[in-house]
Amino acid sequence: MRYFLVKSSIAIVSAYLFTATVLYASDRGHEEPHWGYDGIAGPEKWGSLKSGHERCQDGERQSPIDIKISEATEGKTLESIFVHYTNAPLEIVNNGHTIQVNGDGHSTAVIGGKEFTLVQLHFHEGSEHTVDGKQYPMEVHLVHQSEVGELAVIGVFMDIGDPNEVVKTVFDNMPAQAGEKKVDDGIKINATGLLPDRRGFYHYLGSLTTPPCTQIVEWYVMKEPITISEAQHAQFQKLYKNTFRPTQELGARKLLHK
């Protein structure tokens, strides 16, 4: 029963965060531009593109943010993150916005003292979060969901340096066309290789960084980046560039660190 719930969660979260289509049909029966990262459907227009996206425009708990180190308070009650990721068969999708790797329901993490399942991970070219205004070349988001539907996302900055073996496996198998999927049980992915050795993090309450920008995410952004090579970065840029939402105001929210 638990496995069925996890598999259902994978489908729900994957569909909720991203879509493989480039256009959506309106109630008036004609095609309207789907959200994107520039032009008439760029981030500043997300809130008015479609009913249900209003939080992108008027939300008070939006993501990503610029992490100002001097404003981060030590979270004395924050618990460490413990991951128990397994070797999962490759299931990779070009969803029209990024490259997404789906989990198989067996990789878990204890975050904030609760157990979550890793449902998918995906990449942004140009990090979405910044640190004191600094933007990293890329950021990977590891999306987790609890059995009752809570979302916890671990964000990891990707800097230029040594190549990353997990990234190599993913990028060497990226489908080139939007909507295309590749499944290969003979290729295994272990997301542990996308985490830094030191697991200090920043924590705040936020939202999805794509429409509908729903404010349901607990964010855990790793302090330490991982590295990818210039060649790996360029490999991803052949498919997607500048796929980041601009930073949003922190407002009255607390930014904690551990």
Examine the residue annotation and report whether 124 is marked as an active-site residue of this protein.
Answer: yes
In the structure encoding, which two tokens stand for residue 182, read together? Answer: 């590749």
Q: Which of the four CATH numbers 3.30.43.10, 3.40.50.12780, 3.10.200.10, 3.40.50.1100 does domain 2-257 have?
A: 3.10.200.10
Alpha-carbon distance 139 to 117, whole Å? Answer: 20
Q: Tokens 């040594």 correspond to what residue? A: 162
121 vs 2: CA distance, rounded Å: 21
Sign of the torsion formed by the C-alpha atoms of 1, 8, 206 and 111: positive
Is 106 catalytic? The answer is: no
Query: Which sequence spans correspond to the domains of the chain?
Result: 2-257
Name the catalytic one among 122, 129, 203, 257. Answer: 122
Active site residue 128: yes
Q: Which of 128, 139, 214, 218 is catalytic?
A: 128
- Choose the catalytic residue: 19, 53, 91, 124: 124
The amino acid that residue 191 corresponds to is: A
Among residues 19, 53, 97, 117, the one annotated as catalytic is: 97
Instruction: Decide the pairing of beta strands 99-102 and 114-125.
Output: antiparallel
**Catalytic: which of 19, 98, 130, 209?**
209
pLDDT score for 34: 84
Given the residues 108, 129, 130, 141, select the one marked as catalytic: 141
122 catalytically annotated: yes
Residue 97 is a catalytic residue: yes
Chunked into runs of 10 residues, the chain (258 residues) has average pLDDT values of 42 43 36 80 94 95 98 96 97 97 98 97 98 98 97 98 98 97 97 97 98 97 98 98 98 97
Q: Which are the contacts of 174, defined by CB distance < 8 A and separation ≥ 6? A: 92, 94, 99, 235, 236, 239
DSSP states of 31-64? EEEPP-SSGGGSGGGHHHHSTT-THHHH-SS-S-
Give the three-class secondary structure for 9: helix
